Amino acid sequence: MEALRFPVGRFEWNGEITPEQRQLWIEEIEQLPRKLRDAVDGLTEEQLNEPYRPGGWTVRQVVHHLADSHMNSLTRFKLALTEEQPTIKPYDEAAWAELADSREAPLELSLALLDQLHARWGRLLRSLSPEQWERTFIHPDSGVVRLDVNLGTYAWHGRHHTAHIAQLRKRKEW
């Protein structure tokens, strides 16, 4: 079950985050919309409503979750860049995934949103100074989070959920 839940492994980062590593993660953020579109290309409505694992979200919910989650992350970046160590508000991602827009809306709504969101986010990320990468926010569950670590988390997050879809397609031979 661990391989179905975490097909690319869990995100773990210990040690220094170099400018080169940040650059790789920024590229992943910028490339996610295209890779996600490729992952869902040609899927039928029935396939979009298939859970990626037993007890997991459907492909449709995963795509809409990525839009929800990454909108929240961009907001967290902006808060950390404009306020002194703000405390962010977490959200119940499982509850959001059960809302009608996540369960039923056409994928294109979130795919188009991710196209623009990631283009904008990439511009912001490429503009940050070394000092800005060290800025932090407080997550009530995770504690103090540096922006460079959050970047890595969300690069992984996109890879993680895109792999869920690819893994399902491979298992089902779609």
Domain that holds residue 46: 18-172
pTM as predicted: 0.94
11 lies in some domain: no
Instruction: Specify if 70 maps to a domain.
Output: yes
Whether 55 shows a pLDDT value over 70: the answer reads: yes
Q: How many domains does the chain have?
A: 1
> What pLDDT, on a 0 to 100 scale, did the predictor assign at position 1?
67
Q: From CA 152, how far away is CA 26, in angstroms rounded? A: 9
CATH assignment of the domain containing 50: 1.20.120.450
Q: Which two tokens stand for residue 161?
A: 């959920």
With 90 as the cut, is the pLDDT of residue 14 above it?
no
Q: Three-state DSSP class for 146?
A: strand
Confirm whether 5 is domain-assigned.
Answer: no
Question: Does 13 fall in a domain?
Answer: no
In a domain, 101, yes or no: yes
